Structure 1
Amino acid sequence: MKKILLITMLLVSLIVFSQEKLITKTATISVEASVPSFQPVKGTNTNVTFVLNRRTGEIASLAMMKGFRFEIALMEEHFNENYMETNTYPKAVFRGQIQDFDANSLTEGYKDFIIKGKLELHGKTKDVIVNAKITKSGPRITILTDFSVNADDYGIPIPALIKYKLDNKVNIQIIAVLK
C-alpha cells in the first residue's frame, strides 16, 4: 500500500511540475546587421529551443548557430566560418527572468514586459535587458522581442575591409510560441 501511495504521489508531482514549464523547439530568431545602400545581411533560425516556467517567469533559450539560414549561401558561409566561428562556438544561450510575470494575468492582447538575463554568444556572456510583448491564447503563450547587441561586445570580428557593409549593431528578433 505504501508503494502504491508513493508511486501515485510521484506521478502527481511530475504532472504538476511539467505543467509549470512550457516549451517549444521551433522558436524563431532573426538577426540583421545590414547597412543602408548595401545588400541586406539577415539570417533566420527556426529550430530554436525556448522554455518558460509559468510559475516563476524564468526563461531559457538555446540556438545552434549553424541553424541560421541566409538568402545568399556565401553570407551563410562567412557567418559560420569568419564571424560566429561556429565550430568553436556552436551555440547561443539566453537565461533570464520576465519581470513581474504572472501567467494568470495574460490575455489575448499583448502585454509589455521587461526581461533581464544573460546572453552567452561567441564565448562571452553579457547582461541584457529587453522589452517583450507576451500574450496567451488558449494553452499557448507567445513571446515577441526585438533588441540589439553590439558585435564587438561579444568579440565577433568584423574585418576592416567589409566594415562599411556590415553593421556592428546586430538587431535580434525572437518569436516563441510555447505550449
Structure 2
Amino acid sequence: MKKIITIFLLVASFLSFSQDKKVTKTGKITFEASVPSFEEVKATNEGVSCILNTKTGEIAALALVKGFRFKVALMEEHFNENYIESGKYPKAIFKGKVENFDVSKLTETPQKFNINGTLEIHGKTKEISSIALIKKSGGKIEIDTDFSVKPEDFDIKIPSVVSSKVAKTVDVKCHFSL
C-alpha cells in the first residue's frame, strides 16, 4: 500500500511539474538571405524543438542545421559544407526569456512580448532581442517571432564570387506551437 501511495505521489508531482513546461518538436524556422534579381536564398526547417517554462518565461530552441531545406539541392549542399559547416557545428541553439510572461493572461488574440537571449550558430554566440506575438490557441501556446542576423557575426564567410547574390542580413522567422 505504501508503494502505491508513493508511486501515486511521484506521478502526481511529475504531472504538475510537467504542466509548467510546454514543448514541441515540430517548430518551424525559415530564413531568407535573398537579393532582388538573383536566385532565392531561402530555407525552412520544420523539425525544430522548443521548450517554454510557463512559470518563468524561460525559452529554448534547438534546430539541427542539416534540417534546413532549400529549393535547390546544390544550394543546400553549399550551405551545409561551405558556409555553416554543419558537420562541425550541427546545432543552432537559442536560450532566452520572454519578458513579463504570464501564461494566465494569454488569450486567442496575439499579444506582444519581448524575447531576449543568446543565439549560438557556427560555434559563435550573440545576444538577440526580438518581439514575439504569443497567443493561446486550443490548449496550445503559439509563438511567432522574427529577427535578423548577419553571417559575419557568427564567422560565416560568404565567398566573394557569390557575395553579391546573398543578402548582408539574414531574416529569420520562427513559429512554435507548444
Query: What residue identity is the alignment partner of 1:83?
Result: Y
Q: Which residue of the partner structure matches residue 112 of structure 2?
A: 112
Asked if 1:78 corresponds to 2:78, the answer is yes
Query: What residue identity is the alignment partner of 1:102?
Result: D
Instruction: Determine which structure has the larger strand proportion and give its number.
Output: 1
Query: What residue identity is the alignment partner of 1:84?
Result: I
Deviations 1:95-149 (A, max 9, x none): 1100000011000000000001110100001111111000101211000001100
Whole-Å separation in 1 of the counterparts to 2:44 and 2:3: 50
Residue 39 of structure 1, CA deviation = 1.1
Whole-Å separation in 1 of the counterparts to 2:10 and 2:62: 29
Residue 2 of structure 1, CA deviation = 4.7
Residue 14 of structure 1, CA deviation = 0.1
Query: What residue identity is the alignment partner of 2:171?
Result: N
Asked if 1:144 corresponds to 2:144, the answer is yes
Q: Which residue of the partner structure matches residue 164 of structure 1?
A: 164
Helix, strand or coil for the counterpart of 2:169?
Answer: strand
Asked if 1:101 corresponds to 2:101, the answer is yes
Deviations 1:126-178 (A, max 9, x none): 11111100010121100000110010000001011111001121110001011
Computed over aligned residues only, the root mean square deviation of the Cα atoms, in angstroms, reads: 1.0
Q: Which residue of the partner structure matches residue 39 of structure 1?
A: 39
Helix, strand or coil for the counterpart of 1:168?
Answer: coil
Aligned-pair identity in percent equals 52
Asked if 1:56 corresponds to 2:56, the answer is yes
Helix, strand or coil for the counterpart of 1:167?
Answer: coil
Query: What residue identity is the alignment partner of 2:66?
Result: K
Q: Which residue of the partner structure matches residue 17 of structure 1?
A: 17
Whole-Å separation in 2 of the counterparts to 1:138 and 1:165: 42
Helix, strand or coil for the counterpart of 2:60?
Answer: strand
Query: What residue identity is the alignment partner of 1:17?
Result: F
Deviations 1:40-79 (A, max 9, x none): 1000000000111111111110100000000111110111
| Aligned positions, number | 178
Residue 3 of structure 1, CA deviation = 4.1
> TM-score, normalized by length of structure 1?
0.96
Q: Which residue of the partner structure matches residue 123 of structure 1?
A: 123
Whole-Å separation in 2 of the counterparts to 1:120 and 1:114: 19
Whole-Å separation in 2 of the counterparts to 1:86 and 1:57: 30
Query: What residue identity is the alignment partner of 1:115?
Result: I
Query: What residue identity is the alignment partner of 1:64?
Result: L
> TM-score, normalized by length of structure 2?
0.97
Whole-Å separation in 2 of the counterparts to 1:145 and 1:74: 29
Helix, strand or coil for the counterpart of 1:34?
Answer: coil
